[in-house]
Amino acid sequence: MSTSTLFIGQNKVDLSSVDSTNNYAAELLKNTAIADGTVIWSHEQTHGRGQRGNKWLSVPGQNLTISIVLHPAINASKQFYLTKAVSLGLTEMIKGIVDEKADIKIKWPNDIYAGNKKIAGILIENNLRGDNIVNSIVGIGLNINQINFNPAITKASSLRLITGKQFDINTCINQLCTHFEPRYLQMKAEKHRLLNNDYHHALYRLNEIGNYKKNNSVFNAILTGVSEEGKLTLKHADGKIANYDFKEVEFV
């Protein structure tokens, strides 16, 4: 794999088809010593997974569907900094490709939006030993060349839809590795303030009024930030400020 990184993406497993790259990586970890930064790339995922138990649907051969195996060696209380590092690396990679053609933002906790449409998603699964994360599997799905989506998915975009160009997926993987590695190293160096500031700067709906749903009830609130633990901070119409876990509240 031709990449200018120190270790992210230097080892790669290239698959034609698999149920889920995260599942494949988890099985490998059970019996194999896998180098930090190893990329599992499949041209097709038959049962790709997303956040909240959702499926990640992708046309075979048209999009980026990978998992990156990491050994972050951080305390579990700091796990959201890995989310920030991955989200920022992916956002910056996309921005470098689309230039000013779309407003690329991080929709909490770690979806990537182009304007008001989703272009990428992230699923991070951590393995703990005591209070520390010994390895993480970072699943990333990025819509690249797909232009037709399931009619039920009304808010989806791709690099091709934004730019009008077709892309080589292997080149996109290299670009992602190049952008993600410095963010990962910042996390390992505990540059938390930098990651916090940049993550907040990239947040979708930051300081804007939006609709949210909790327990099937919709309400208006201003998104003011995200806590260190990864909870969404919303300011309600009555001035009350509350923090929400990603399973507690949804964007509407």
In tens, the pLDDT along 148-168 reads 998 877 789 999 999 999 999
Query: What is the structure's pLDDT at 79?
Result: 95
- Each as own residue / partner, the long-range contacts of residues 216-223 (CB below 8 Å, 24 or more positions apart, any chain) are 218/252, 223/108
| Average pLDDT score over residue span 184-192 | 97
Q: How far is CA 27 from CA 8, 21, 52, 81, 129, in A?
A: 20, 10, 22, 25, 17
Task: State the CATH class of domain 209-251.
Answer: mainly beta
End-to-end alpha carbon distance in the chain: 40
At residue 48 the predicted structure's pLDDT band, cuts being 50, 70 and 90, is: low
Residue 178's pLDDT is 98
Residue 78 · residue 85 · CB < 8 Å: no
Amino acid 7: pLDDT: 97
Note whether 12-201 and 209-251 share their fold.
no
Nearest to 40 by CA among 62, 20, 56: 20
Q: What pLDDT, in 10s, does the model give residues 102-131?
A: 899 999 998 999 999 999 999 999 999 999
Domain boundaries, the chain: 12-201, 209-251
Asked if pLDDT for residue 3 goes beyond 90, the answer is: no
pLDDT at 1 over 50: no
pTM summary value: 0.93
Give the per-residue pLDDT at 202: 97
Q: Which of 55, 43, 95, 63 is nearest to 160 (CA)?
A: 63
Q: Would residue 18 be called left, alpha or beta, if left means φ above 0 and alpha means ψ between -120 and 50 degrees? A: beta
CATH of 12-201, one of 3.40.190.80, 3.30.930.10, 3.30.70.580, 3.10.580.10: 3.30.930.10
